[in-house]
Amino acid sequence: MKETVLSGIRSTGHLHLGNYFGALRNFIKMQYEHRCLFFVADLHSLTTHPKPADFHGNVHRVLTEYLAAGLDPEHATLFVQSDIPEITELYVLLNMITYKGELERTTSFKDKVRKQEDNVNAGLLTYPVLMAADILIHRPAKVPVGKDQEQHLEITRTLARRFNRLYEADVFPEPAAFNFGAELVKIPGLDGSGKMGKSEGNGIFLSDDEKTIHKKVMHAVTDSGPTAPNGEMPDTIRNIFTLLEVVSTPDVVTHFREAYNNCTIRYGELKKQLAEDICKITLPIRTRIEEIGADRDYLRKVTQQGAAQARESAQATMKEVRKAVGIQAF
C-alpha cells in the first residue's frame, strides 16, 4: 500500500534554488510514488501580523510557485491550511493536553522570543501544537522534515501518544520522519556562506529574471585564483562548483575542474556559464509562474479540489477524535 506523506509549505518568501534542489525536487518525484499531501501553512504566518492583502498575496504566490515548479494537483493533494476548519478544531483540543513548560523549552520558541521580543503572542508559543494538528489531522505515516523541524515532529509524536493514552483510544499513529537520505543536496550561498536561505538573504529565486540572476552570480565571492596545480579549493570556490554540478552538464563541470586544477581558470567565465545554466533551468518555471499566477480560475479549481480531498481525510479523523474526547450530539 502507498504511504501517506504530508508536508507543510511556509507561506512567506519566494522559492530559491536551495528550496528547489533541496526538498522540492524530491517532493515532485515522491508525488508519483506515495499518497502525498502538501499544504500552504498560512495560519502559521499570522504570528507576525501580516496585512490582510499581504496574507492572501503570500498564499497566492507560494501556491503559484510550487505549481509552476512541478507539484501536480492531479497526483498530490494540494491545499491551503485555512480552508480546513478541522485543523483549528484539532488544534484547540491538542492545546488542552500540551503543557506550557514543554512549549517554552522548544528551540524555535526561544528563537522567536529573541527575534520578536515585542510580539511574544500565544500563537507563537503554541506554534508546535498547530503544527501537530496539521500533521495528525491526516494521520500520515511520514513527514519530511529538515533539521530545524525535528523537535516539532518529536512534539507531534508526544502529543499523539498522550492523546491515545489519556483518552484510551487508538486514534493517532506516530508519524515518522521521511528521510531523503543521500538524495538531499545542500545548496550553498554564493556569498561564502554555507547555505542558501531566505533568512540568509542570499537567495537566487525561481522568479528572478535573467538580469537579476546574472547580477547575483557575477557577485559571487571568489579569490585571486589557484596558485598551484591540483590545490585544495577554498569554500567560496567549492560553493560555485557545487551549484555548477547541480545545474550544468557533466562535461561543463569537468572542463572547469580541469581549468582549476591546471590554474588556467577564469572565474568570470565560470560565473557566466553558471548564470546561463541557472537561467536555462529556471526560465520555463518563471514562465509558468507568470501564467499560473494570472489564472485565478485555475488556482480556484486547484484549491477547491485540494480542500475537498483534505477535508474528507480531516473529517474522518475528527469523527474519531470527537468520539474519543466525549464530544457527542444529543
215 is catalytic: no
Please identify which residue in 56, 75, 198, 255 interacts with ligand ATP, judged by CB under 6 A. Answer: 198
According to the binding rule CB under 6 A, does residue 19 interact with ligand ATP?
A: yes
Instruction: Give the residues across from 78 on adjacent strands.
Output: 38
| Site size toward ligand ATP, by CB under 6 A | 13
Instruction: State the nearest-atom distance from the C-beta of 228 to ligand ATP, in Å.
Output: 31
- In this structure, what C-alpha cell is assigned to residue 236? 567560496
Closest to ligand ATP by CB, 194 vs 231, is: 194
Residue with cell 511520514: 142
Please identify which residue in 10, 14, 56, 162 interacts with ligand ATP, judged by CB under 6 A. Answer: 10
Q: Which residue out of 110, 142, 186, 195 is catalytically annotated?
A: 195
x/- contact string, 122-151, with ligand ATP (CB under 6 A)? ------------------------x-----
Closest to ligand ATP by CB, 199 vs 230, is: 199
- Rounded to the nearest angstrom, the gap between the alpha carbon of residue 246 and the centroid of all alpha carbons in its chain is 19
The stretch near ligand ATP (CB under 6 A) out of 47-55, 164-172, 190-198, 264-272 is: 190-198
Q: What is residue 147's three-state secondary structure?
A: helix
According to the binding rule CB under 6 A, does residue 18 interact with ligand ATP?
A: yes
- Rounded to the nearest angstrom, the gap between the alpha carbon of residue 26 and the centroid of all alpha carbons in its chain is 11
The stretch near ligand ATP (CB under 6 A) out of 197-205, 212-220, 221-229, 267-275 is: 197-205
User: CB neighbours of 98 closer than 8 A, spacing ≥ 6?
Assistant: 126, 128, 129, 155, 159
Closest to ligand ATP by CB, 89 vs 200, is: 200
142 is catalytic: no
Q: Which residue out of 110, 198, 272, 319 is catalytically annotated?
A: 198
Q: Using alpha carbons only, give the angle 19, 22, 24 rounded to the nearest 5 degrees.
A: 65
Instruction: State the nearest-atom distance from the C-beta of 148 to ligand ATP, in Å.
Output: 7
According to the binding rule CB under 6 A, does residue 186 interact with ligand ATP?
A: yes
- In this structure, what C-alpha cell is assigned to residue 19? 528550496
Phi and psi torsions of 80, nearest 5°: -105, 130
Beta strands 35-41 and 142-144, pairing class: unpaired
According to the binding rule CB under 6 A, does residue 23 interact with ligand ATP?
A: yes
Q: What is the DSSP letter of 6?
A: E
CB 77 within 8 A of CB 38: yes
Phi and psi torsions of 66, nearest 5°: -70, -40
- In this structure, what C-alpha cell is assigned to residue 88? 483549528
Closest to ligand ATP by CB, 44 vs 311, is: 44
Residues 319, 90: Cα–Cα separation, whole Å: 11
Please identify which residue in 99, 100, 117, 199 interacts with ligand ATP, judged by CB under 6 A. Answer: 199
Instruction: Give the residues across from 31 on adjacent strands.
Output: none
Q: For the chain, give me the number of helices (H) and strands (E)?
A: 14, 5
According to the binding rule CB under 6 A, does residue 187 interact with ligand ATP?
A: yes
According to the binding rule CB under 6 A, does residue 192 interact with ligand ATP?
A: no
Instruction: State the nearest-atom distance from the C-beta of 149 to ligand ATP, in Å.
Output: 8
Residues with a known catalytic role: 112, 195, 198
Q: Contact residues for ligand ATP (CB under 6 A)? A: 10, 18-19, 22-23, 146, 186-187, 195-199
